[in-house]
Structure 1
Amino acid sequence: MALANIDENLKIISIDAKDMRWPTSLGGHGSDAMHTDPDYSCVYVTIKTNETIEGYGLTFTLGRGNEIVQMGIRALSTLIVGRRLRDDIYARFDKFWREITSETQIRWIGPEKGVMHLAVAAVINALWDLWAKLENKPLWRLLTDMDPELLVSTIDFRYLTDVITPAEAVEILKQGQKFKQERIDELLKDGYPCYTTQIGWLGYTDDYRRQLCKEYLAQGFNAFKLKVGQNLEDDRHRCRLVREEIGWDNKLMVDANQIWDVNEAIEWMKKLADFKIWWIEEPTSPDDALGHATIAKALKPLGIGVASGEMCMNRIMFKQFLQANALEFCQIDSARVGGVNEILSVYFMCKKFGVKVVPHAGGVGLCEMVQHLQMWDFTSVSCTKTDRYVEYVDQQHDQFVYPTNVKNAHYMPPTAPGYSTELKKDVIAKFEYPNGSEWQRMFKEGIVKHITY
């Protein structure tokens, strides 16, 4: 594989960003202690070229505010439209990434964090989708087949070299060449294990939760996650209920979604420890590396690990979490930080620190994308599946042209070229906000209220 395979005259002629929303709050789907009424949403990017090939990318939100990310993408598009894909972007991907994350005026409202970094992620994801299509490969295979030096050249290592250098990352990939084909064959045969959060939403009834536990056990799942944090006795009740259904040999994780102070998190989890909890996820502010470290140290004697990362804004924060021994499980999110380039750097840091990557997924398109990243990690970086999973929630997959394929609680490797990010055209017509046909119907029938700004 070489950049020479890409036509030097291929360039970007337009970037479109659509506000896509699904009314998941009506069923309590996605509800947790902090986010009580989420409408799963994304800003959906289409990059058009001067040829017929297009790239699709997205970043995930929970509804309100999606339009702000959309505006961020429009601001970035002026820096990108007209660029040649091979020579202006892919051949210097690290520098291109720095240019759009450090633009001298735009960076003031979000230097590698917040709304602008979500906007960057959507654009970068679309560019990787396009690159994979140009090579006629699914993204996981594009990454797996790349020469180590080329892959590492896509990453901006600024602020990271005190922890990981480009030379070290290249050496990690070279070491990963040993038995790589065997791991690829294993992946193609067996897939990659996943756990489910589908049983865990706070808005579900006991009967429905029991039903879901039975269904996912029958599908082969051996790891389950519950939302916690609003009421201790309710949490104990739900943990007891789930343990009655899944038994004590399967894994049970809990997720507080940032609701607690540090000491509160420690005391609360001590009162849930008798349910054999494998990890507590986001026990406090996602920005508090030292707070997470304090919690991790306190809970380690109880056998409870700390997991976090889905709202970690950039690679520098991940670096600090790792330096502070604050995480046993790193939960990168495919639609956050600065897209694929920056996520790759987090994988390399986790490899060096010996921290397990267990990605966040479940929202619109997150499962579709992150499966590619974790499969690359198995083939090329960590080279193991031990105590590693990808999160799975069975929602919105039918909205995509190439949805996830889960068999016996394993993601089966995507085969279609790209990043699995293309939405169906009829889905866009129904759920683009606020003019999609489904939103217009719900406004008219009074099911939901149209909020104007």
Structure 2
Amino acid sequence: MQAARIVQVSVQDVRFPTSREQHGSDAMHTDPDYSVAYVVIDTDSDLRGFGLTFTVGKGTEIVVCAVQALSALVVGKTLQEIVSDFRGFYRLLTSDGQMRWVGPEKGVIQLATAAVLNAVWDMWARAEGKPVWKLLVDMDPKQLISCIDFRYITDALTEKEALEILLEAQEGKKKREEQMLREGYPAYTTSCAWLGYSDQQLQELCSEALAEGWTKFKVKVGADLQDDIRRCRLIRQMIGPNNMLMIDANQRWDVGEAVEWVTRLSEFRPLWIEEPTSPDDILGHAAISKALAPLHIGVATGEQCQNRVMFKQFLQASALQFVQIDSCRVGSINENLAILLMACKFKVPVCPHAGGVGLCELVQHLILFDYICVSASLDNRMCEYVNHLHEHFKSPTVIRNAHYMPPQDPGYSTEMLEDSVEKHQFPQGEVWKKIPQ
């Protein structure tokens, strides 16, 4: 491994005006401008690391400030120092005696932590000449365990149990890796049915997706019940009775309202209702899960679940039937490893949240690792895909036959095109100078 010493952590506010065409619109986020706090780590060699955390416009500047605050804990360290005690480095970032107060391990500071750590993982994979998923797959189980902070979760998963899961999954690992390289990982699309899209747009996009081989579709709901019934009926008619449908309320409802609303939509046979209520309401999700079980509709959540402790409680309370990890909401790969292992122990399938800017590029590495080295199962498992903004990355996501194909370039697929970054910097970039503020 290169003895590269980190000399600078830079961060830029990069935003895309997606709200102008209603891309990404849902019941709670009606006008998102897909954005990132984009981090570049420079070393005293030619080795660099690229990371990001996703936002939806306003507030990205706050994440940028948090990254700048964390950078003092990173500059001066070598890559070898970090990865030889990755658990310690993770705890250093999340447990600074003063900055911890504005978390801890949640909110803006956790988004910033994810951006920095995503860049570190990208740099490590580049140093090894591997894509991140392959770096993880080739790693010794004990080394994987050493990257995880088990503090606060040992009542649900001990280090010994986590190691046993990884060791058990060694059997058949090579065949599963070959399968992924050959077939890819199953995906579903959210791109057809954003809440702000017209019926005509929805129909056209569904037709295109069906022609491309998509069989799993998600539709945004939650703003108006009668409109939801009409749109769900329309999309069910478009995709037919045998293709899969999911619905997503993006935290719009109270608990009782969620049960009542989803019951009205049950005729369209959704596999799950996603984020039916506050992302912090674990017992509320448990009540919704129990109420919807007779309808065979599961509850999915996690894209705004803030840390491994909350995921632990969701699993302990049987409050979700689908775990939705996010590559930027929690503390990067380190924390997602813990969540993947807990989900495996509790036998709950992982179906990651993706889309936005760079989320598909990032999370594809985690699902490949999960299947090859942890869960060894594709039952009820799929990863979200949104077809926006991939053209701004040097190693964009590759979809074939509605499957994520394993990335081949070294790193975490997070490096953006310099021209894209320059044009979309907020507020001084060329794109934003043309838009009235």
Fold match (TM-score > 0.5): yes
Give the match for residue 413 of structure 1.
406
Per the TM alignment, residue 295 of structure 1 is displaced from its structure 2 partner at its CA by 0.1
Distance 1:191 1:306 in 2: 26
Match of 1:76 among 70, 77, 82: 70
Distance 2:51 2:71 in 1: 14
Distance 1:147 1:277 in 2: 39
Q: Is 1:285 aligned to 2:295, yes or no?
A: no
Give the match for residue 86 of structure 2.
93
**Equivalence map 1:165-314=2 (5 Å):** 165-314=158-307
Match of 1:404 among 394, 397, 405: 397
Give the match for residue 352 of structure 1.
345
Distance 1:15 1:167 in 2: 35
Per the TM alignment, residue 385 of structure 1 is displaced from its structure 2 partner at its CA by 1.3
Distance 2:119 2:160 in 1: 27
Q: Could you tell me which amino acid in structure 2 is paired with residue 71 of structure 1?
A: C
Distance 2:192 2:131 in 1: 30
Per the TM alignment, residue 386 of structure 1 is displaced from its structure 2 partner at its CA by 1.6
Q: Is 1:66 aligned to 2:91, yes or no?
A: no
In the superposition, the TM-score normalised over structure 2's length comes to: 0.99
Per the TM alignment, residue 133 of structure 1 is displaced from its structure 2 partner at its CA by 0.6
Distance 2:137 2:213 in 1: 28
Q: Is 1:339 aligned to 2:332, yes or no?
A: yes
Q: Could you tell me which amino acid in structure 2 is paired with residue 26 of structure 1?
A: R
Per the TM alignment, residue 259 of structure 1 is displaced from its structure 2 partner at its CA by 0.5
State whether residues 188 and 383 of structure 2, in contact with CA within 8 Å, keep that contact through their aligned partners in structure 1.
Answer: yes
Per the TM alignment, residue 440 of structure 1 is displaced from its structure 2 partner at its CA by 1.3
Per the TM alignment, residue 441 of structure 1 is displaced from its structure 2 partner at its CA by 2.3
In the superposition, the TM-score normalised over structure 1's length comes to: 0.96
**Equivalence map 1:361-440=2 (5 Å):** 361-440=354-433
Per the TM alignment, residue 293 of structure 1 is displaced from its structure 2 partner at its CA by 0.3
Q: Is 1:29 aligned to 2:23, yes or no?
A: yes
Give the match for residue 139 of structure 2.
146
Q: Is 1:322 aligned to 2:315, yes or no?
A: yes
Distance 1:243 1:100 in 2: 46
Per the TM alignment, residue 134 of structure 1 is displaced from its structure 2 partner at its CA by 0.8
How many equivalent residue pairs?
437
Distance 2:193 2:283 in 1: 28
SS of the residue aligned with 2:42?
A: strand
SS of the residue aligned with 1:357?
A: coil
Q: Is 1:104 aligned to 2:97, yes or no?
A: yes
SS of the residue aligned with 1:322?
A: helix
Distance 1:76 1:106 in 2: 8
4+ residue runs over 2 A deviation: none
1:187-228 deviations in Å (ceiling 9; x for gaps): 000001100001121111101100111111111111100110
Q: Could you tell me which amino acid in structure 1 is paired with residue 140 of structure 2?
A: D
SS of the residue aligned with 2:117?
A: helix
Give the match for residue 53 of structure 1.
47
Distance 1:202 1:162 in 2: 40
Distance 2:101 2:236 in 1: 48
Per the TM alignment, residue 283 of structure 1 is displaced from its structure 2 partner at its CA by 0.2
SS of the residue aligned with 2:85?
A: helix
Give the match for residue 3 of structure 1.
none
State whether residues 4 and 47 of structure 2, in contact with CA within 8 Å, keep that contact through their aligned partners in structure 1.
Answer: no
Q: Is 1:43 aligned to 2:34, yes or no?
A: no
Q: Is 1:113 aligned to 2:106, yes or no?
A: yes
SS of the residue aligned with 1:348?
A: helix
* Unpaired stretches in structure 2, ≥5 consecutive residues: none
Distance 1:432 1:53 in 2: 24
State whether residues 176 and 371 of structure 2, in contact with CA within 8 Å, keep that contact through their aligned partners in structure 1.
Answer: yes
Distance 1:416 1:99 in 2: 30
* Unpaired stretches in structure 1, ≥5 consecutive residues: 1-5, 443-447
Per the TM alignment, residue 80 of structure 1 is displaced from its structure 2 partner at its CA by 1.0
SS of the residue aligned with 1:356?
A: coil
Per the TM alignment, residue 166 of structure 1 is displaced from its structure 2 partner at its CA by 1.3
Per the TM alignment, residue 396 of structure 1 is displaced from its structure 2 partner at its CA by 0.4
Per the TM alignment, residue 79 of structure 1 is displaced from its structure 2 partner at its CA by 1.1
